[in-house]
Structure 1
């Protein structure tokens, strides 16, 4: 990709990220193009569909969260690793309003551009959970799918203005139900 095209693409992603943070995943592509000071055709040339734009925007974050899980697998206690990663995932999913709905749909839709990233992210969490379970630090009756659903539920709480003030407390409640002796802060 030419340098100017890469610069335009990166600018569009930065603007789209800000728009998603402010307005959620339903922000119009036309609005993103307007904010980026480009025509809709320019946006669509880089990202032909909403899902392509979201995939490009979210994939980096998914990859970072997956890499973070790999780091945590080899450092610290299994309990602490799971809690840190769980908190990181919930914080990230709360950043982009409405992303949990997309993730839940994408994990079931093998044709979705986001499917592979969501499956990889879920598998990373499942490994951390299995490690904590093997150490006797997490309940044994949940799996990676359950953990992924809990992340979505906790992020949904953060998306609700009337519930957002309770989100941290409820994270602690859920974390203590998943991880034995969870140290909540």
Structure 2
């Protein structure tokens, strides 16, 4: 990438990060281009879709979640490891206004993306917890993410968002435990 194109890319990502934090994931793309000091064509050349821009903004966060999943793969209690990781996903979704909604909206999309990376990380933790019987068989990664995103969405504006999210995650996990 040429140096000027790289500068524009970086300015767009920085402007989008600020706009998404202030206005949510539905921040106007025209506003982001203005904040970055570039035209709309430059924005769309780098980011043909809103999702592509969201992924660029949140790539570092997704990488951190994937790294944490790798660390938790060797935890002695796979169910607890999965629950801890889901809590980290909820915390991330709650700190980035509208991120949970934007991720939820793309659950059915295909292609290489942050979604593929984070779903892969979750799949390893989920399968390990299922193999040890700590989470019931038949639960899918897609179902987990719908639950996680729902919790992040409903708690992101609560005064005690982290406490509310933890309580809801506890309820979800009680439902994931196999029954005799």
In 2: Cα distance, 1:179 partner to 1:84 partner? 15
2:146 is the alignment partner of 1:149: yes
After superposition, the C-alpha distances for 1:2-54 in whole angstroms (9 at most, x for unaligned) are: 33432331232122112212211110012112323334343334323323312
Q: How does 1:23-172 map to 2 (within 5 A)?
A: 23-110=23-110, 116-161=113-158, 164=161, 166-172=164-170
Q: Normalized against structure 1, the TM-score is what?
A: 0.77
For residue 48 of structure 1, give the secondary structure of its aligned residue in structure 2: coil
In 1: Cα distance, 2:48 partner to 2:147 partner? 32
Structure 1 residues 143 and 57, CA gap change in structure 2 (3 angstroms): same
Report if aligned partners of 1:157, 1:163 keep a CA contact under 8 Å in 2: no
After superposition, the C-alpha distances for 1:119-168 in whole angstroms (9 at most, x for unaligned) are: 34223212212211222322335222221111111111123558947333
Query: How many residues align structurally?
Result: 177
In 2: Cα distance, 1:30 partner to 1:57 partner? 16
For residue 107 of structure 1, give the secondary structure of its aligned residue in structure 2: coil
Q: Which residue of 2 aligns with 1:183?
A: none
Q: Which runs of 5+ in 2 are unaligned?
A: none
Offset, 1:74: 2.5
In 1: Cα distance, 2:142 partner to 2:49 partner? 28
Q: Normalized against structure 2, the TM-score is what?
A: 0.79
In 2: Cα distance, 1:81 partner to 1:61 partner? 19
Report if aligned partners of 1:126, 1:147 keep a CA contact under 8 Å in 2: no
Offset, 1:171: 2.6
In 2: Cα distance, 1:47 partner to 1:162 partner? 34
After superposing the two structures, state which structure 1 stretch, 62-71 or 149-158, moved more: 62-71
In 2: Cα distance, 1:179 partner to 1:7 partner? 49
